[in-house]
């Protein structure tokens, strides 16, 4: 799959096929679940599971990182979307470290296509938080304060990651194309670029920058997010 001379070679982004293999990026889904458009990125089958061609992954990952580098250096916004249970904490942590917005709970319909309504909810959320911080809620009864606190907690769950997002992002980074299919549909409608991990069971052509890789293994997603974080932090300097 990867020629010996290329095995330990790193490019400007430090992508290393051997490290990718160790992280399990090459393990796809069962062969029976393959999406026909992923076939060009598949090397073969092992134990009824598709094996992703890491040379192709390297090429596409490099393209995606190059786009992210340009995007961030132009002070544009990348929104991380990772609502799948096993990856949501990683998505949030990387986004926070990079000071970028994120969505890790359910994608709310209209987040991109009806952003004006979302903006109003964000304003309301920030207003309530501001009142609480200034001690303005003390004038209410304990029961009313508890209700407002409950509202703030709910708004934090829904909108906490995008609280400071003042306009539509220029791009989304999606960790699971099947799980966050609605985010992809909205991004397409609004002309927002899509960078995404593309496992063997999805249509990679839905993303502008697909990264053919295992989207289920924590080690695989972590490897990808670590590289993305590295590029973003360097581009912000």
| CATH number of the domain enclosing 103 | 3.40.50.10490
Strand positions, DSSP E, 117-192: 171-174
Indicate whether 94 and 186 sit together in one domain: yes
Rounded Cα gap, residues 116 and 68, in angstroms: 26
Rounded Cα gap, residues 208 and 210, in angstroms: 6
Indicate whether 140 and 175 sit together in one domain: no
Indicate whether 58 and 173 sit together in one domain: yes
Per-residue model confidence as pLDDT tens digits over 160-215: 999 999 999 999 999 999 999 999 999 999 999 999 999 999 999 999 999 999 99
Tokens 């990808």 locate to 224
Indicate whether 130 and 217 sit together in one domain: no
Q: Please count the structural domains in the chain.
A: 2
Indicate whether 124 and 136 sit together in one domain: yes
pTM of the entire predicted model: 0.90
Sequence-distant (6+) residues with CB within 8 A of 90 are 82, 218, 221, 222, 225
The token pair that represents 72 in the structure block: 């961030």
Rounded Cα gap, residues 81 and 63, in angstroms: 19
Indicate whether 81 and 133 sit together in one domain: no
Indicate whether 130 and 45 sit together in one domain: no
Lowest mean pLDDT among 22-26, 132-136, 147-151, 192-196: 132-136
Give the confidence band of 135 by pLDDT, cuts at 50, 70, 90.
confident
Q: What is the pLDDT of residue 10?
A: 53
Q: Contact, 174 vs 180, CB < 8 A?
A: yes
Indicate whether 145 and 189 sit together in one domain: no
Q: Residue 155's domain spans which residues?
A: 115-162
Q: Average of pLDDT values for 110-133?
A: 92
Indicate whether 140 and 41 sit together in one domain: no
C-beta neighbour count of 13 within 10 angstroms: 19
Indicate whether 128 and 17 sit together in one domain: no
Indicate whether 59 and 143 sit together in one domain: no
């Amino acid at each position: 799959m990867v020629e010996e001379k290329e095995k330990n070679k790193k490019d400007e982004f430090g992508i290393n096929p051997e490290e990718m293999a160790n992280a399990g990026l090459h393990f796809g889904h069962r062969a029976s679940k393959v999406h026909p458009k992923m076939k060009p990125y598949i090397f073969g089958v092992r134990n009824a599971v598709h094996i992703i061609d890491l040379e192709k992954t390297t090429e596409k990952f490099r393209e995606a990182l190059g786009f992210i580098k340009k995007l961030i250096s132009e002070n544009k916004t990348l929104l991380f979307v990772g609502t799948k249970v096993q990856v949501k904490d990683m998505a949030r942590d990387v986004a926070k470290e990079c000071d970028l917005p994120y969505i890790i709970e359910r994608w709310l319909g209209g987040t991109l296509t009806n952003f004006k309504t979302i903006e109003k909810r964000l304003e309301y959320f920030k207003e309530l938080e501001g009142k609480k911080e200034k001690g303005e809620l003390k004038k209410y009864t304990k029961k009313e304060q508890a209700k407002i606190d409950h509202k703030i907690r709910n708004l934090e769950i829904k909108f906490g990651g995008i609280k400071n997002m003042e306009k539509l992002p220029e791009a989304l980074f999606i960790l699971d194309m099947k799980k966050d299919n609605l985010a992809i549909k909205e991004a397409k409608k609004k002309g927002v670029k899509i960078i995404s991990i593309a496992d063997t069971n999805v249509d990679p052509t839905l993303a502008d920058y697909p990264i053919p890789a295992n989207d289920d293994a924590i080690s695989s997603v972590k490897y990808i997010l670590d590289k993305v974080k590295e590029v973003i932090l360097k581009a912000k300097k």
